[in-house]
A = this chain, B = another copy of it.
Amino acid sequence: MTNRVRRTMPLLPISIVMQLTELTARQIRYYEEHELISPARTEGNKRMFSLNDVDTLLEIKDHLDQGLNIAGIKKIFDMRNQPKNEMAEPKNLSDAELRKILREELQGTRSYERGGLRQGDLSRFFKGNG
Protein backbone atom coordinates (compact mmCIF):
# COMPACT_ATOMS: atom_id res chain seq x y z
CA MET A 1 0.00 0.00 0.00
CA THR A 2 1.34 3.41 -1.00
CA ASN A 3 -0.62 4.84 1.85
CA ARG A 4 2.06 7.01 3.39
CA VAL A 5 0.40 9.60 5.51
CA ARG A 6 1.73 13.10 5.10
CA ARG A 7 1.25 16.73 5.66
CA THR A 8 -0.93 16.77 2.59
CA MET A 9 -3.50 14.35 3.94
CA PRO A 10 -6.90 15.92 4.42
CA LEU A 11 -7.61 15.44 8.10
CA LEU A 12 -9.20 18.56 9.51
CA PRO A 13 -12.71 19.96 9.27
CA ILE A 14 -13.16 23.67 8.82
CA SER A 15 -14.09 24.22 12.46
CA ILE A 16 -10.68 23.05 13.62
CA VAL A 17 -8.90 25.05 10.98
CA MET A 18 -10.78 28.10 12.19
CA GLN A 19 -9.43 27.56 15.70
CA LEU A 20 -5.93 26.85 14.48
CA THR A 21 -5.73 29.89 12.24
CA GLU A 22 -8.15 32.27 13.93
CA LEU A 23 -9.82 32.84 10.61
CA THR A 24 -13.55 32.79 10.03
CA ALA A 25 -15.19 30.24 7.78
CA ARG A 26 -16.07 33.09 5.47
CA GLN A 27 -12.45 34.06 5.11
CA ILE A 28 -11.28 30.54 4.51
CA ARG A 29 -13.90 29.96 1.84
CA TYR A 30 -13.10 33.26 0.25
CA TYR A 31 -9.44 32.35 -0.05
CA GLU A 32 -10.41 29.08 -1.63
CA GLU A 33 -12.71 30.89 -4.03
CA HIS A 34 -9.67 32.86 -5.11
CA GLU A 35 -7.59 29.71 -5.44
CA LEU A 36 -5.14 30.37 -2.66
CA ILE A 37 -5.99 26.96 -1.22
CA SER A 38 -7.69 23.88 -2.58
CA PRO A 39 -8.89 21.80 0.33
CA ALA A 40 -10.14 18.31 -0.38
CA ARG A 41 -13.83 17.51 -0.25
CA THR A 42 -15.68 14.65 1.33
CA GLU A 43 -18.21 12.72 -0.72
CA GLY A 44 -20.79 14.98 0.80
CA ASN A 45 -18.90 18.08 -0.33
CA LYS A 46 -17.50 19.15 3.01
CA ARG A 47 -14.06 20.70 2.99
CA MET A 48 -11.26 18.73 4.63
CA PHE A 49 -7.94 20.45 5.21
CA SER A 50 -4.40 19.17 5.37
CA LEU A 51 -1.70 20.55 7.62
CA ASN A 52 -0.20 22.14 4.55
CA ASP A 53 -3.47 23.95 4.00
CA VAL A 54 -3.30 25.30 7.52
CA ASP A 55 0.25 26.46 6.94
CA THR A 56 -0.82 28.20 3.78
CA LEU A 57 -3.70 29.88 5.56
CA LEU A 58 -1.35 31.17 8.21
CA GLU A 59 0.87 32.54 5.52
CA ILE A 60 -2.07 34.20 3.82
CA LYS A 61 -2.98 35.77 7.12
CA ASP A 62 0.53 37.12 7.54
CA HIS A 63 0.59 38.58 4.08
CA LEU A 64 -2.78 40.21 4.54
CA ASP A 65 -1.67 41.67 7.84
CA GLN A 66 1.25 43.18 5.99
CA GLY A 67 -0.99 44.89 3.50
CA LEU A 68 -0.82 42.51 0.57
CA ASN A 69 -4.03 41.78 -1.25
CA ILE A 70 -5.33 38.48 -2.50
CA ALA A 71 -4.01 39.03 -6.00
CA GLY A 72 -0.53 39.69 -4.69
CA ILE A 73 -0.55 36.64 -2.51
CA LYS A 74 -1.75 34.54 -5.37
CA LYS A 75 1.07 35.82 -7.54
CA ILE A 76 3.58 34.89 -4.88
CA PHE A 77 2.15 31.40 -4.57
CA ASP A 78 2.04 30.94 -8.32
CA MET A 79 5.68 31.97 -8.69
CA ARG A 80 6.63 29.52 -6.03
CA ASN A 81 4.94 26.72 -7.93
CA GLN A 82 6.52 27.61 -11.26
CA PRO A 83 9.66 25.50 -10.75
CA LYS A 84 11.70 27.46 -13.30
CA ASN A 85 10.80 30.29 -15.59
CA GLU A 86 10.41 29.16 -19.16
CA MET A 87 10.12 32.73 -20.35
CA ALA A 88 8.79 32.06 -23.79
CA GLU A 89 5.17 32.65 -22.87
CA PRO A 90 3.84 36.17 -23.10
CA LYS A 91 3.61 37.06 -19.43
CA ASN A 92 0.31 38.80 -19.19
CA LEU A 93 0.85 40.68 -15.98
CA SER A 94 1.20 44.29 -17.00
CA ASP A 95 3.86 46.57 -15.57
CA ALA A 96 1.13 48.61 -13.99
CA GLU A 97 -0.20 45.54 -12.26
CA LEU A 98 3.16 44.57 -10.96
CA ARG A 99 3.99 48.05 -9.75
CA LYS A 100 0.70 48.24 -7.96
CA ILE A 101 1.41 45.04 -6.09
CA LEU A 102 4.88 46.14 -5.12
CA ARG A 103 3.69 49.53 -4.03
CA GLU A 104 1.11 47.95 -1.79
CA GLU A 105 3.65 45.63 -0.34
CA LEU A 106 6.20 48.32 0.31
CA GLN A 107 3.97 50.71 2.17
CA GLY A 108 3.07 47.77 4.43
CA THR A 109 0.43 48.62 6.97
CA ARG A 110 2.29 46.57 9.54
CA SER A 111 -0.38 46.07 12.19
CA TYR A 112 1.18 43.32 14.22
CA GLU A 113 -0.87 41.89 17.02
CA ARG A 114 -1.82 38.27 16.75
CA GLY A 115 -2.68 35.77 19.40
CA GLY A 116 -2.69 32.67 17.28
CA LEU A 117 -0.18 30.66 15.40
CA ARG A 118 2.38 31.95 12.99
CA GLN A 119 3.73 30.70 9.75
CA GLY A 120 5.95 27.75 10.49
CA ASP A 121 4.44 27.05 13.85
CA LEU A 122 2.88 23.92 12.50
CA SER A 123 6.18 22.14 12.61
CA ARG A 124 5.83 22.25 16.37
CA PHE A 125 2.56 20.39 16.30
CA PHE A 126 3.58 16.82 16.56
CA LYS A 127 7.05 16.65 17.91
CA GLY A 128 7.08 16.20 21.64
CA ASN A 129 5.90 13.14 23.48
CA GLY A 130 2.93 14.70 25.11
Contact = CB atoms under 8 A, between A and B. Distances in A.
A4 to B, nearest CB: 7
Contacts of A48: 16
B52 A130 contact: yes
A20 B5 CA distance: 9
A84 interface: no
User: Within the oligomer, what is the number of copies of this chain?
Assistant: 2
A73 interface: no
Interface stretch (A30-38, A62-70, A93-101, A121-129): A121-129
Given A11-B12, A11-B16, A4 B130 contact: no
A5 B130 contact: no
Interface of chain A, main secondary structure: loop
Contacts of A1: 115
Contacts of A130: 6-8, 52
A18 to B, nearest CB: 12
A108 interface: no
Nearest to A127: B126
Nearest to A129: B7
